[in-house]
Amino acid sequence: MTEEQRAALAVDVAWLAWRSEFRRRMIKEGMLKHPWRSVFEADMIFSMVAIRWLQGDPITLKELATHFQLFTTEATVSRHIDDMEASGTLCRLPDENDRRRLLLVPTERLAEIGRTFLQARADIARQHGFVFAPPAKV
């Protein structure tokens, strides 16, 4: 294994350790109603909801389930959303243009989690020698 590969692995291991501790904290604080559910699925759902909301185009449950159809069911995605709504990280709002559709919208609580995640990723990267160099202006 090269030094570069060891460094990349060290960053991944540090992130997984942080993520594991963060998950334990979320369970303790009651943010995860069913802690045995897949972290991967939950993280992907949070990310997709947040990205679409930031783009000004909130995602629907149906659209979200379509992204997951290769490895889970719509019912599983729906249960994740139910848990997230119960924990106060997401809410379902009627689409003003089509009241039959429910939009998944992040709450301030999810935004706080997102900020915590981003800061942790940046801190871990810096601790392992990453230096951000913005692109040169042309």
pLDDT at 32: 67
For residue 111, pLDDT beyond 80: yes
What tens digit of pLDDT does each residue of 60-79 get?
A: 988 998 988 888 888 888 88
What does the block give as tokens for 86?
């119960």
Q: What domains can be seen in the chain, in order of their start residue?
A: 3-127 (1.10.10.10)
- The edge-to-edge listing of strands for the beta sheet with 90-94 is 59-60, 102-106, 90-94
Specify the higher pLDDT residue, 33 or 19.
19
- Please provide the average confidence, as pLDDT, over all residues in the chain: 86
Alpha carbon distance 138, 126 (integer Å): 27
Which pLDDT value is given to residue 107?
A: 93
Is the pLDDT at 106 greater than 90? The verdict is yes
> 37-65, pLDDT tens digit by residue?
666 777 888 889 989 999 999 999 889 98
Phi first, then psi: what are they for 65, rounded to 5°?
A: -60, -35
Mean pLDDT to the nearest integer, 30-42: 69
At 29, the pLDDT band (50, 70, 90 cuts) reads: confident
Confidence (pLDDT) at 99:
85
Q: What average pLDDT does the segment 14-18 reach?
A: 88
pLDDT of residue 124: 92
Residue 30 has pLDDT above 80, yes or no: no
The region that residue 84 occupies, defined by phi over 0 for left and psi between -120 and 50 for alpha, beta otherwise, is: alpha
